[in-house]
Amino acid sequence: MSEILGCEKVTKRFGGLTALNEVSLSVVKGEIFGIIGPNGSGKTTLLNVITGLIRLDEGRILLDGRDITKLKPHERVKLGIARMFQGMRVFPYLPVYLNVELVARSIYGDVRLARARTSWALTMSGLLPEAGELPIRLTPYKLRMLEFARILVSNPKIALLDEPFAGLTPDEAEAMIGLIRKFNSLGVTFVIVEHKLRYLMRIANRVAVLNQGVKIAEGRPEDVVRNPQVIEVYLGVS
């Protein structure tokens, strides 16, 4: 299997704080790759670097072998990177349909194609009945589905999900798992940052563990959770 996303010795500093310290990852096409670690370990910062929301200080980001380190966020989206944020990043006073269509128009240009993709994404995420609703009236689960629809409409190669199970009931989390598995089977690669390990460990092919900006472990979920260093720093026991 070939690499779709590569992070090579990625380093990011905020003043005197090193948020990421020479972090290297290789994500294979078609896999579900998990990133875990305690609060402040650099997980969201890494996603921000990959999507171009913040600039790294050292290292490189590669997509399909192409160096995208200096590209702007919207340029990375057009190349196939999509993102679900930890905090909701939707337009609260625009209807659900327009929230998704605006993303589609920014990518496709053609209005009819954008509308067709929007209707498809809303159908796939189960939001078509709420197309005319305002996001502020949606439940936490429906808001997550709105963000998922905004990912789908861009036809991504790789989707970065930051805490996708946050605020969801067990049944809603199962529905989210089902969607992730469905689109993974259709060829979408996923990178998932998540605290709820019981969900992530069920679907991830491989997991990387960050601690204080350093990658301390990587491998199959069942191996990583038995790693003594991971148990000590992530679970708080020695």
pLDDT > 80? residue 160: yes
The length of the chain in residues reads: 238
- Reduced to 3 states (helix: H, G, I; strand: E, B; else coil), residue 72 is coil
pLDDT > 90? residue 170: yes
Q: 31 pLDDT band (50/70/90 cuts)?
A: very high
Q: 159 pLDDT band (50/70/90 cuts)?
A: very high
Instruction: Express each pLDDT in 7-30 by its tens digit.
Output: 999 999 998 899 999 999 999 999
Instruction: Express each pLDDT in 171-222 by its tens digit.
Output: 999 999 999 999 999 999 999 998 778 888 899 999 999 999 999 999 999 8
| Distance from C-alpha of 160 to C-alpha of 193, rounded to nearest angstrom | 8
Q: What are phi and psi of 126, to 5 degrees?
A: 75, 20
The model's pTM is: 0.93
Q: Tell me, what's the pLDDT at 234? A: 63
| Distance from C-alpha of 67 to C-alpha of 144, rounded to nearest angstrom | 31
- Long-range contacts of the stretch 12-18 (C-beta < 8 A, 24+): 12/42, 12/45, 12/49, 12/54, 12/56, 12/57, 12/213, 13/57, 18/213
Q: Tell me, what's the pLDDT at 236? A: 60
Listed by start position, the domains of the chain span 1-80+156-238, 83-155
Q: CATH homologous superfamily for 1-80+156-238?
A: P-loop containing nucleotide triphosphate hydrolases (3.40.50.300)
Q: Tell me, what's the pLDDT at 237? A: 46
Q: Tell me, what's the pLDDT at 107? A: 87
| Distance from C-alpha of 134 to C-alpha of 39, rounded to nearest angstrom | 32
Q: Which residue's entry shows tokens 């990387």? A: 208
Q: 238 pLDDT band (50/70/90 cuts)?
A: very low
End-to-end CA distance of the chain: 36
Q: Tell me, what's the pLDDT at 235? A: 60
Instruction: Express each pLDDT in 48-104 by its tens digit.
Output: 999 999 999 999 999 999 999 999 999 999 899 999 987 778 888 899 999 999 999
